[in-house]
């Protein structure tokens, strides 16, 4: 009996229809990828059999969600998704604690909850949870996988979607595969990159860049106990998986489907550009990576089509967009808008919106089907992957500019209001990345410490403006937990030996529930921020002009510190205007089509020569 007939003889109509629609392409891609492997069809049979098994295990409520989303494939492209990312241990200590805090999540208008890495990982060697020792177990101090499934069910009852990281590139050295590889089992060594001598690793090192040249130099680690070198692109305790081995792909797909069946709605593909290694290349963004991502998309569309794939591609825009695939052969549903995030903070430090405008113009030229996840801050650092070819035309040199940005945003520059810290500082290359909470980076920390109420007010105004800008971009806005109450940097990480060497814990502090209690106390920073973001979220959800596929464009303001963004459909025209200066400015736009209403203040005005206060913003709307 053929593979197709063997599977379909036991499958229901739904699985059969999806399988028949996608199987030919899946087979072609799989056999092409593994053409050098003896009998790739044997491995494909194992993959498809597993897919069918996970489909059968998927509970009825998730299958019903799959059917609804299949019938409405644009469900995530509208204006009603609003996200938040958080660490469970910091926010609620445990998964059961998170279940008790869902009222607060709903009060924040959040219906897309990204739970930061929570799968089993070794204490002190976890890279914030990105060194996974078991893809099917939760960190014991957070609870169990049953607890996770129960939280997911409770979230689904409230209309909240759950996102979870899926670490594709590597495992922890404590993973069962790694332990068996280290013990000398060849089958498991073949799931990683093991070498007896440094001859081949030396060839990789010639062309493969280092991710952390300061804190984790090189791409290989010597294992003294088994006398072998193993590939470790990130940290020595994170061993790169060898996707040239079909067993690795199959088993990782099964891990992904297992998580989907536990209730995950959005699978965040961590470090996906790195997963295919090839000598003589930089081991980034290779064609085989796109083949694998496309196969994962196909597999999800067969087994769990209600699940979205979010690609973490923290690279230049020309490297990011290909991960959407094509309309005929889509890959990721969503990608991070990392360059706009970095360009935003560049604008904060320079008061010059030119680079940010250019970045938005690039995004505006992309197909409207491309959906980005937008954010001001995330769990990681801010890397300065800016368009230096563009900046060089203005006499701006990369190294000197990065130093200025870091000096300004860490408070070293005269009269800077920012209070961040550097991560992976490399004085030799004049390069570093930046850490800090939004409130600390816009002056709330500095001026609060100084007792400068006017400065704090100005910082809060800027905080609101930056979030308004983020929420008016095309795509899905995601808030970093704590921003809604103005949480400041948490310097206590320096006293924890497991965290002290990683300044990213500066903005990964415990959630300040004492501050959250003040969110309804008028006159507090927490009140101003919480209710301002609440208002923006409701405005966004109420107007179709904020849907992700609505075209947008920028306007020339003839003022370097202001930015104007237009979104327009058949019903409404929206103009967002943002002032990145500490001085009142005029946005010299000239939209001669009547009176607009500022959705934030209710004030009516023309969209011509708009006077905008220091660090302020307007959300102007005109009905058609």
- Say if 412 falls within a structural domain: no
Q: Which residues contact 624 (CB under 8 A, 6 or more apart)?
A: 570, 571, 572, 573
Residue 74 has a pLDDT of 95
> How many other β-carbons are positioned within 10 Å of the β-carbon of residue 197?
9
Taking only Cα atoms into account, the Rg of the chain, rounded to an integer number of angstroms, comes to: 25
Place of tokens 């990576």: 289
- Say if 57 falls within a structural domain: no
Residue 210 belongs to domain with CATH number: 3.90.400.10
Average confidence (pLDDT) over 417-423: 96
Percent with pLDDT over 70 in the chain: 98
Cα–Cα–Cα angle for 507, 508, 514, nearest 5°? 90
Please count the structural domains in the chain. 2
pLDDT in tens, 134-147: 999 999 999 999 99
- Say if 125 falls within a structural domain: no
Residue 619 has a pLDDT of 98
pLDDT in tens, 295-340: 999 999 999 999 999 999 987 777 899 999 999 999 999 999 999 9
pLDDT in tens, 31-83: 999 999 999 999 999 999 999 999 999 999 999 999 999 999 999 999 999 99
Backbone φ and ψ for 563, nearest 5 degrees, come out as -130, 135
- Say if 565 falls within a structural domain: yes
Cα–Cα–Cα angle for 532, 536, 538, nearest 5°? 115
Write down the catalytic residue from 147, 240, 312, 490. 312
Residue 1 has a pLDDT of 47
C-alpha distances in Å from residue 436, one per residue of 62, 376, 432, 487, 580: 38, 11, 13, 10, 19
Residue 10 has a pLDDT of 72
Structure tokens that stand for 140 in this block:
């014991």
Contact assessment for residue 148 and residue 96, using Cβ atoms and an 8 Å cutoff: no
Q: Which residue has the higher pLDDT, 613 or 316?
A: 613
Distance CA 496, CA 194 (A): 34
> How many other β-carbons are positioned within 10 Å of the β-carbon of residue 39?
9
> Shortest CA distance to 345 belongs to which of 416, 477, 441, 207?
441
Distance CA 579, CA 587 (A): 9
Structure tokens that stand for 541 in this block:
């959800």
Residue that is last in its domain, among 193, 217, 240? 240
- Say if 213 falls within a structural domain: yes
Average confidence (pLDDT) over 357-381: 94
Known active-site residue 25: no
Contact assessment for residue 447 and residue 440, using Cβ atoms and an 8 Å cutoff: no
Distance CA 341, CA 333 (A): 19
> Shortest CA distance to 431 belongs to which of 385, 376, 499?
385
> Shortest CA distance to 156 belongs to which of 102, 116, 109?
102
Q: Which residues pair with 268 in a beta bridge?
A: 165, 310
> How many other β-carbons are positioned within 10 Å of the β-carbon of residue 305?
18
DSSP-derived pairing of the beta strands 572-579 and 562-568: antiparallel
Average pLDDT value over all residues in the chain: 95
pLDDT in tens, 152-198: 999 999 999 999 999 999 999 999 999 999 999 999 999 999 999 99
- Say if 610 falls within a structural domain: yes
Write down the catalytic residue from 174, 251, 270, 559. 270
- Say if 424 falls within a structural domain: no
Percent with pLDDT over 90 in the chain: 92
Task: Say if residue 549 is exposed, middle or buried (CB neighbours under 10 Å; 0-12, 13-18, 19+).
Answer: middle
DSSP-derived pairing of the beta strands 585-598 and 604-612: antiparallel
Residue that is last in its domain, among 225, 240, 255? 240
Model confidence at 429: pLDDT above 70: no
Q: Which residue has the higher pLDDT, 3 or 452?
A: 452
Distance CA 54, CA 57 (A): 5
Q: Which residues contact 362 (CB under 8 A, 6 or more apart)?
A: 317
Residue that is last in its domain, among 240, 258, 276? 240
Distance CA 577, CA 599 (A): 12
Place of tokens 């979230």: 155
Distance CA 355, CA 349 (A): 12
Distance CA 407, CA 582 (A): 19
Cα 155 vs. chain centroid, distance in angstroms?
Answer: 20
pLDDT in tens, 466-488: 999 999 999 999 999 999 999 99
Average confidence (pLDDT) over 500-528: 96
What is the number of residues in the chain?
624
Q: Which residues contact 260 (CB under 8 A, 6 or more apart)?
A: 54, 58, 62, 267, 300, 303, 304, 307
Structure tokens that stand for 34 in this block:
């593994």
What range defines the domain where residue 184 resides?
Answer: 170-240
Q: Which residues contact 458 (CB under 8 A, 6 or more apart)?
A: 443, 447, 582, 614, 615
The string of DSSP letters for 306-318 reads: T-EEEE---S-HH
Distance CA 108, CA 434 (A): 27
> Shortest CA distance to 420 belongs to which of 506, 482, 354?
506
Residue 425 has a pLDDT of 84
Contact assessment for residue 202 and residue 196, using Cβ atoms and an 8 Å cutoff: no
Known active-site residue 572: no
Structure tokens that stand for 331 in this block:
């890959």
DSSP code, position 502: -
Contact assessment for residue 515 and residue 526, using Cβ atoms and an 8 Å cutoff: yes
Contact assessment for residue 113 and residue 99, using Cβ atoms and an 8 Å cutoff: no
Residue 267 has a pLDDT of 98
- Say if 498 falls within a structural domain: no
Q: N- to C-terminal Cα distance for the chain?
A: 62
Extended strands (E) in 447-561: 476-480, 552-555
> Shortest CA distance to 360 belongs to which of 324, 387, 396, 398?
387
Residue 2 has a pLDDT of 65
Residue 3 has a pLDDT of 65
CA dihedral 126, 128, 129, 131 (to 10 degrees): -40
């Amino acid at each position: 009996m053929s593979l197709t007939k063997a599977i379909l003889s036991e499958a229901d109509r739904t699985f059969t229809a999806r399988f028949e629609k996608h199987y030919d392409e899946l087979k072609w891609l799989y056999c092409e990828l593994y053409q050098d492997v003896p009998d790739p069809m044997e491995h494909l049979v194992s993959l498809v059999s597993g897919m069918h098994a996970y489909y059968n295990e998927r509970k009825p409520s998730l299958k019903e969600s799959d059917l609804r989303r299949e019938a409405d494939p644009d469900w995530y492209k509208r204006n009603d998704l609003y996200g938040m990312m958080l660490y469970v241990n910091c926010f609620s200590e445990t998964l059961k604690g998170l279940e008790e805090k869902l009222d607060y999540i709903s009060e924040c208008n959040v219906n897309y909850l990204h739970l930061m890495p929570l799968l089993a990982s070794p204490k002190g060697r976890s890279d914030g949870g990105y060194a996974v020792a078991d893809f099917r177990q939760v960190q014991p101090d957070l609870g169990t996988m049953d607890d996770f499934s129960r939280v997911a069910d409770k979230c689904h009852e409230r209309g909240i979607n759950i996102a979870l990281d899926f670490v594709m590139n590597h495992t922890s050295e404590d993973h069962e595969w790694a332990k068996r590889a280290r013990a000398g089992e060849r089958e498991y060594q073949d799931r990683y990159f093991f070498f007896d001598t440094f001859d081949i690793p030396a060839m990789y090192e010639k062309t493969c860049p280092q991710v952390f040249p300061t804190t984790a130099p090189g791409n290989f680690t010597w294992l003294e106990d088994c006398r072998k070198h193993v590939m470790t692109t990130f940290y020595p305790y994170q061993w790169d998986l060898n996707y040239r081995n079909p067993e690795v792909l199959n088993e990782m797909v099964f891990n992904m489907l297992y998580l989907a069946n536990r209730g995950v709605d959005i699978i965040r593909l961590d470090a996906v550009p790195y997963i295919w290694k090839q000598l003589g290349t930089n081991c980034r963004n290779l064609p085989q990576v796109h083949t694998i991502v496309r196969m994962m998309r196909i597999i999800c569309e067969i087994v769990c089509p209600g699940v979205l794939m979010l690609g973490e591609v923290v690279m230049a825009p020309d490297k990011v967009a290909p991960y959407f695939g094509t309309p005929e052969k889509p890959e990721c549903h969503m990608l991070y808008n990392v360059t706009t995030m970095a360009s935003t903070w560049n604008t904060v430090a320079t008061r010059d919106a030119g680079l940010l405008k250019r970045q938005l113009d690039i995004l505006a030229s992309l197909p409207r089907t491309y959906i980005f996840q937008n954010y001001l801050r995330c769990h990681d650092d801010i890397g300065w992957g800016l368009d230096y070819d563009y900046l060089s035309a203005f006499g701006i040199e990369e190294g000197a500019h990065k130093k200025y940005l870091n000096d300004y945003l860490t408070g070293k520059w005269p009269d800077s209001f920012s209070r961040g810290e550097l991560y992976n500082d490399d004085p030799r290359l004049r390069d570093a990345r930046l850490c800090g909470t939004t409130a600390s980076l816009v002056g709330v920390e500095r001026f609060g410490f100084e007792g400068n109420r006017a400065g704090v007010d100005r910082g809060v105004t800027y905080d609101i403006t930056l979030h308004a800008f983020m929420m008016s971009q095309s795509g899905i806005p995601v808030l970093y937990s704590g921003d809604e109450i103005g949480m400041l940097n948490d310097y206590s990480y320096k006293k924890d030996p497991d965290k002290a060497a990683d300044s990213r814990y500066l903005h990964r502090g415990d959630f300040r529930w004492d501050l959250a209690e003040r969110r309804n106390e008028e006159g507090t920073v927490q009140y101003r921020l919480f209710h301002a973001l609440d208002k923006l979220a409701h405005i966004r959800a109420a107007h179709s002009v904020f849907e992700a596929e609505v075209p947008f464009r920028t306007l020339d303001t003839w003022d370097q510190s202001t930015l104007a963004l237009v979104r327009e459909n058949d019903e409404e025209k929206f103009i967002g205007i943002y002032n990145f200066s500490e001085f009142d400015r005029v946005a010299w736009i000239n939209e001669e089509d009547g009176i607009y209403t500022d959705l934030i203040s209710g004030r009516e005005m023309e969209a011509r020569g708009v006077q905008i206060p220091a660090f302020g913003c307007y959300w102007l709307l005109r009905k058609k």
